[in-house]
């Protein structure tokens, strides 16, 4: 691969990684806190909140936001796990796992879109 | 235990010695007088002058400007002349800088790292040539301020020693990349495109995973980690801009050949990340990726159950989702994932301002962190209502 192509490949992967990292840094703490509170609640109390979430999901922009968030989060995780395997000096595992993780992350977009359309 | 000043008890130095790059190393102990004002370099010089003249090390200016005396003291890369025996843990462990082949005792081979400087063309490349009688190229104070911090590099190579990526793989390294950004930001320079081409290669900016220890150990506040993040962004823009023009280009010149001395480096242990708190924090941060993936899948699952449950009525979907969200599995996932994602958010907002070329990165960090904090408060208020 030419240096220019390699550079573009890395740049593109990093851009998506950055987008995923920013989205998850902004949104996941709040979602996790909300989810933690729900998981500690009595089901009869939690039900009201779940109903509200369900009606929220009726709006297409909310569902598209979930698709975008999930896709970028998975890409971010795939990229980071690949680098982690490199840091742990597991090149063979990385060579097998990293493309698979990237493929799963890329596939999550159409899958999520179909499931939530 | 630190060294009390000028007591009678001598200080013990434990110095890693080796005769040459092919020999094994041993640790030798030397007792030196306990002097409050002594640097590690002073102590090494005492050993060479009074105890063992064969001890070899580098040193010159004795004032932290020449960059010659890089060593590892108690496992941390430092300048020997700027590190004081009184502040060290006794016995004081002194080793050659890691990630470099050892030539003798505390002297390491720097050829590979110095080669990176040439690869990145870290010198001024003005658009026009001027002779000695021509007027100088002027800069405003603001133009100077844009690159000055990165220009303070003394090529001590401590950042290379601190950077695990340089030890793990072929990497141009933090020092050379910081200097490349120094020239890219210089208003008198016209060599940016060529540097970005080189910096965007496999062994360039993309090796950096923002461990951050390069900036921690830098004695001149060059902030190489910051420079590299800016270079990444510049590389992305450069790659996009040159997309149309480079598609048909032939293959480039081969990458920088690995210097033969690299083969003589001390190999990095697989558990390298356990050797310093900074490295352990970094790995903890990177491990958050597993929980990012797990939570993303969980979110999608809950959304699908709530919205796209198989022809089930709303009540049934809500019951199923409630059961998932209040089950023990959800509790475990949220309880374990939350601290990791909080660490991810905090560290991300500390790194993000590096891209902005701002003089107030902490202000930006606080501003950026206020968004997830506000959202957390809103969610708590909403769930409690």
User: Which chain B residue shows the shortest CA-CA distance from A12?
Assistant: B236
Instruction: For chain B, positions 120-179, list CB contacts with chain A under 8 A.
Output: 164, 168-169
Q: Nearest Cα to B295, choosing from B242, B338, B262?
A: B338
- Measured CA to CA, the distance from residue A62 to residue A65 in angstroms comes to 5
Identify the bridge partners of residue B26 per DSSP, sorted by sequence position.
B17
- Min Cα separation B358/chain A (Å): 19
Looking up tokens 């390699």 gives A6
User: Which chain B residue shows the shortest CA-CA distance from A84?
Assistant: B286
Q: Are B315 and A81 in contact (CB under 8 A)?
A: no
**Structure token pair of residue B33:** 């007088």
Q: Are B226 and B214 in contact (CB under 8 A)?
A: no
Interchain CB distance below 8 Å, B306 and A84: no
At B326, give phi and psi (nearest 5°): -110, 5
- 3-class DSSP state of B246: helix
Burial of B310 (0-12, 13-18, 19+ CB in 10 A): exposed
Please report, in tens digits, the pLDDT of each residue of chain B (385 residues total).
555 555 668 999 999 999 887 788 999 999 999 998 999 999 999 999 999 999 999 999 999 999 999 999 999 999 999 999 999 888 999 999 999 999 999 999 999 999 999 999 999 999 888 899 999 999 999 999 999 999 999 999 999 999 999 999 889 999 999 999 999 999 999 999 999 999 999 899 999 999 999 999 999 999 999 999 999 999 999 988 887 665 444 445 555 666 666 666 766 788 999 999 999 999 999 999 999 999 999 999 999 998 875 556 888 888 989 999 999 999 999 999 999 999 999 999 999 999 988 888 999 999 999 999 999 999 888 877 6
Q: What's this model's pTM, rounded to 2 decimal places?
A: 0.91
Interchain CB distance below 8 Å, B306 and A27: no
Q: Are B213 and B174 in contact (CB under 8 A)?
A: no
Q: Are B140 and B179 in contact (CB under 8 A)?
A: no
Q: Which helix (H) or strand (E) holds B288?
A: helix B277-308
- Measured CA to CA, the distance from residue B230 to residue B178 in angstroms comes to 10
Does B284 lie at the interface with A, CB-CB under 8 angstroms? no
- Measured CA to CA, the distance from residue A83 to residue B77 in angstroms comes to 24
Q: Are B16 and B94 in contact (CB under 8 A)?
A: yes
Interchain CB distance below 8 Å, A35 and B330: yes
Q: Nearest Cα to B266, choosing from B38, B90, B102?
A: B102
- 3-class DSSP state of B78: strand
Sequence-distant (6+) residues with CB within 8 A of B16 are: B25, B26, B27, B94, B95, B96, B105, B106
Does B317 lie at the interface with A, CB-CB under 8 angstroms? yes
Q: Are B106 and B95 in contact (CB under 8 A)?
A: yes
Q: Which helix (H) or strand (E) holds B76?
A: strand B76-79
- Measured CA to CA, the distance from residue B48 to residue B384 in angstroms comes to 71
**For the CA atoms of chain B, what is the radius of gyration?**
26
pLDDT tens figures, A73-106: 999 999 999 999 999 999 999 999 999 999 999 9
ipTM at complex level: 0.95
B193 CB neighbour count, 10 Å cutoff: 12
A·B CB contacts under 8 A: 213
């Amino acid at each position: 691969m030419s240096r220019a192509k390699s550079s573009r490949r890395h740049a593109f992967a990093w851009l998506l990684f950055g987008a995923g990292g920013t989205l998850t840094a902004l949104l996941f703490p709040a979602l996790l806190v909300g989810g933690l509170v729900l998981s500690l609640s009595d089901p009869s109390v939690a039900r009201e909140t779940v109903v509200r979430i369900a009606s929220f999901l009726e709006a297409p922009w909310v569902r598209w936001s979930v698709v975008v968030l999930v896709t970028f989060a998975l890409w971010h995780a795939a990229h980071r796990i690949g680098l982690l395997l490199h840091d742990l000096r597991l090149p063979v595992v990385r060579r097998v796992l990293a493309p698979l993780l990237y493929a799963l992350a890329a596939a999550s977009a159409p899958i999520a879109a179909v499931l939530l359309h | 235990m630190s060294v009390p000043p000028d007591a009678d008890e001598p200080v013990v130095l434990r110095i890693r010695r080796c005769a040459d790059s092919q020999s094994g190393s041993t640790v030798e102990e030397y007792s030196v007088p306990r002097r409050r004002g002594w640097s590690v370099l002073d102590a090494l010089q005492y050993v060479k002058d009074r105890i063992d003249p064969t001890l070899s090390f580098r040193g010159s200016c004795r004032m932290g400007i020449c960059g010659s005396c890089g060593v590892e003291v108690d496992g941390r890369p430092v300048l020997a002349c700027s590190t004081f025996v009184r502040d060290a843990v006794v016995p004081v462990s002194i080793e050659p800088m890691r990630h470099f082949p050892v030539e003798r005792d505390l002297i390491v081979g720097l050829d590979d790292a110095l080669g990176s400087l040439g690869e990145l063309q870290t010198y001024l490349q003005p658009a026009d040539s001027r002779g000695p009688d021509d007027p100088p190229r002027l800069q405003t104070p603001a133009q100077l301020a844009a690159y000055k911090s990165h220009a303070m590099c003394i090529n001590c190579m401590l950042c290379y020693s601190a950077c695990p990526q340089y030890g793990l793989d072929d990497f141009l390294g933090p020092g050379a990349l910081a200097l490349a950004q120094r020239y890219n930001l210089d208003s008198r320079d016209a060599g940016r495109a060529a540097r970005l081409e080189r910096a965007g290669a496999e062994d360039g900016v993309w090796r950096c995973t923002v461990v951050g220890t390069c900036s921690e150990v830098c004695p001149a506040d060059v902030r190489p980690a910051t420079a590299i993040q800016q270079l990444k962004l510049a590389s992305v823009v450069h790659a996009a801009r040159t997309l149309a023009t480079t598609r048909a280009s032939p293959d480039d010149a081969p990458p920088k050949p690995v210097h033969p001395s690299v083969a003589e480096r001390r190999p990095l242990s697989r558990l390298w990340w356990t050797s310093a708190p900074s490295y352990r924090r970094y790995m903890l941060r990177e491990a958050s990726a597993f929980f990012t993936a797990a939570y993303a899948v969980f979110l999608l699952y809950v959304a699908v159950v709530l919205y796209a449950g198989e022809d089930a009525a709303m009540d049934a979907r809500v019951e199923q989702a409630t059961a998932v969200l209040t089950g023990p599995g959800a509790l475990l996932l949220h309880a374990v994932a939350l601290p990791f994602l909080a660490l991810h958010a905090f560290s991300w907002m500390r790194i993000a301002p590096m891209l902005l070329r701002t003089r107030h990165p902490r202000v930006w960090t606080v501003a950026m962190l206020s968004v997830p904090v506000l959202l957390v408060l809103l969610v708590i208020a909403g769930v409690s209502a």
